[in-house]
Structure 1
Amino acid sequence: MVLSVNHQARYWGLAAVLFLLVLWLLGDTILPFLVGGAIAYFLDPLADRLQRAGLSRVMATTVISVAMLLVAVLLVLAVIPTLISQLTALIDQAPEIFRQLQSFLTERFPDLNDETSTIRQTLLSIGDTIKERGGELANTLLLSAYSVINAIVFMVVVPVVAFYLLLDWDKMVAKVDSWLPRDHAPTLRQLARDIDRVLAGFVRGQISVCLALGTFYSVALMAAGLQFGLIVGAIAGAITFIPYVGALIGGALALGLALFQFWGDWFSIGLIAGIFALGQFLEGNVITPRLVGGSVGLHPLWLLFALSAFGTLFGFVGMLVAVPVAAAIGVLMRFGLSQYTGSRLYRGKESIVLLEEDR
């Protein structure tokens, strides 16, 4: 006996509530499994490609794991210490930068010498706040990051989870497929393929874009002689998944630092601006079209809302699941709209006329 629509909606709604409840109650506990699952999902196409090249699943997973381990070791030894040192130096020098900004403005706008000037008081307040709180802020950020994703998670739990999930990924997908309700299995498979297409196009593509642009900005800015080029490039690359925001924030930060470091050397300042202009050209015309392709149906505003909502409700874990959940909801909404526009409720009398003509 086929279940009614009301009963089916009740069961699927209960499943969604249970998912959110588990996410809320076990957020920190399931964090390494979510991270490991995301890594396995990201690397599964590479494992499938190695299998088609003749390797077994075990050998393909081993090769990928060793390669990722070497990349992680390289990052820990070469990149991360420099990144942290530049971040610390930038925070330490922030008060001096604001003092130079104050001197620069007062020289060109003498009215700011007035002790009662609002802008003067604001600059002094910002400088004092950064001087007092800058080091504390850096320590808090580092400590909070380690408290959420500590060294044990990265060094032990996440790699183990990712390895076994990647090893058995195809078996798990087949097992889940065997659990689908037989009456709705074809529709659910199509919806799953659509969700996977959106995730593959956005998540895998955007991560690749962020890595490519972050590397380009960091290397180019350091080659141009910018003092904090690595940290600026890393910031710009990390938030590139939000259209134009990465370039705007990274460009503003880089140009601001370049003005203090290269004041009077307009060629160097123009070179910094040119790097971000070139980065935007490469992103829009080369990198994003090749790595992401066309529209994947995940609008930036919808993504921002999902990140904000899930981050507020479930913290860091919520931000991790925000993108796949947003992709799934988007696919389901488009499916629901397609069903609605083909129904008698939407077409009204037209559907009755077409039905009579078919008869």
Structure 2
Amino acid sequence: MTMREQAVWWLLGLIILIILLVLLSNVLLPFVLAAGIAYFTDPLADRLERRGLSRVLATVIVTAVAFIVATIALIILIPLLINQIQLAIDAAPELFNAAREFVETRVAPLFDQDGALGAALTKGLNQAQSQIKDISVGVLQGAWSVSLAGFQVVALMVVTPVVAFYLLLDWDNMIARIDDMLPRQHRDEIRWLAGEVDRVLAGFVRGQVTVCLILGGFYALALTLIQLPFGLLVGFFAGLISFIPFVGSIFGGALSVGIALFYFWNDPVWVVATAAIFAAGQAVEGNFLTPKLVGGSVGLHPVWLMFALSAFGALFGFTGLLIAVPAAAVIGVFLRFSIGKYKQGALYRGQRGDSGP
């Protein structure tokens, strides 16, 4: 089989795989989550095996620990976050009133003595306020619709750990079977690519998840300690989106400082403290967490990450958002490999005897 024929077959297989993923996107979520859990916990199971435990016992221990930790986290965090969301919905009209008062009394006079700017800003806020009740009702109706899908949620919570357990139990055997089916002519290159993919995923996804959790916990705890309204919700959200560099700190910082201006205008020390929390978080992330836990050799550009989130979200919905970051890392490995091959080929170097300039 020629190289062109092999390329055609590989491309055809990739197209069929993408079509199947799009068609089955509605049922992929528990299996994607289970595969991610198995992948992330496999090194721990391997370590327990090296200490003399059987694979079955190692899998049971890892699964039990993960289940206990997840249960404790859900019991503690979910009620708090739901309460914060409900408070945010209830307080939305009050926030708009505060924003309108802030614009009319403090912002507009600084820029426009005639009040034209203030009138325009106030009009916009009034229109937004007139819609806030409809938005709140829509959010509550959406939450009710989600609650009606309780069976699917229960199924997700049951299917995911079961599938993750069996994948973790058989992970090494599956890798061995896949390795045995590799085409012998390209086995070394495929193994090298697989090693690069694993290195990138281990260096970026595992490390970045840890960074996001640390930042989310820090922001939530610090904002709660200074008694910023909705500080727990804003802090966790800012931490969770920190896998896109600077976005989490900038968005979370802007939102938190905006809330602090409304509530702590007469006590600017707390406004400064709010800004200082995100400045400190960004400093710790850039100088310690990311270099230590993620490393600088992954090569994922922030623009590429944002594009991957948009593209995979459009193709696969919520499941796409979950796989966007690891998929971007994997695609980046293949692109760098392809560019390396291109630079070694005749198209880049030119054939001997060419009369070009």
The one-letter code matched in structure 1 to 2:135 is: R
Matches within 5 A, 1:59-74: 59-74=57-72
Residues 145/316 of structure 1: CA separation in 2 closer, same or farther (3 Å cut): farther
Q: Cα offset for 1:114?
A: 6.9
Aligned-pair identity in percent equals 48
Matches within 5 A, 1:1-359: 3-108=1-106, 109=108, 117-140=119-142, 143-144=145-146, 147=149, 150-348=152-350
Q: Cα offset for 1:148?
A: 10
Taking only aligned residues, the RMSD between alpha carbons, in angstroms, comes to 2.4
Residues 46/149 of structure 1: CA separation in 2 closer, same or farther (3 Å cut): farther
Residues 146/322 of structure 1: CA separation in 2 closer, same or farther (3 Å cut): farther
- Partners in 2 of 1:136 and 1:72 — Cα distance? 30
Q: Cα offset for 1:113?
A: 6.7
Q: Cα offset for 1:143?
A: 4.0
* Secondary structure class of the residue paired with 1:180: coil
Q: Cα offset for 1:277?
A: 1.0
The one-letter code matched in structure 2 to 1:82 is: L
- Partners in 1 of 2:51 and 2:273 — Cα distance? 44
* Secondary structure class of the residue paired with 1:117: helix
- Contact 2:38-2:167 within 8 A present in 1 as well: yes
- Partners in 2 of 1:112 and 1:290 — Cα distance? 54
- Partners in 1 of 2:40 and 2:302 — Cα distance? 21
Residues 116/247 of structure 1: CA separation in 2 closer, same or farther (3 Å cut): closer
Q: Cα offset for 1:82?
A: 0.7
Using the size of structure 2 for normalisation, the TM-score is 0.91
Gaps of 5+ in 1: 353-359
250-259 or 175-184: bigger deviation: 250-259
- Partners in 2 of 1:294 and 1:68 — Cα distance? 29
Residues 308/320 of structure 1: CA separation in 2 closer, same or farther (3 Å cut): same
252-261 or 182-191: bigger deviation: 252-261
300-309 or 271-280: bigger deviation: 300-309
Give the total of aligned pairs. 350
Residues 204/217 of structure 1: CA separation in 2 closer, same or farther (3 Å cut): same
- Partners in 1 of 2:114 and 2:62 — Cα distance? 60
Using the size of structure 1 for normalisation, the TM-score is 0.90
Gaps of 5+ in 2: none
- Partners in 2 of 1:317 and 1:155 — Cα distance? 15
- Partners in 1 of 2:150 and 2:227 — Cα distance? 35
Q: Cα offset for 1:329?
A: 2.4
The one-letter code matched in structure 2 to 1:90 is: A
Deviations 1:59-113 (A, max 9, x none): 2221221111112221222111110110110121011111011112212336687
* Secondary structure class of the residue paired with 1:183: helix
Residues 149/68 of structure 1: CA separation in 2 closer, same or farther (3 Å cut): farther
- Partners in 1 of 2:116 and 2:149 — Cα distance? 46
The one-letter code matched in structure 1 to 2:124 is: T
Deviations 1:14-43 (A, max 9, x none): 111111111111112222111100111111
- Contact 1:206-1:241 within 8 A present in 2 as well: yes
49-58 or 17-26: bigger deviation: 49-58
Q: Cα offset for 1:141?
A: 5.5
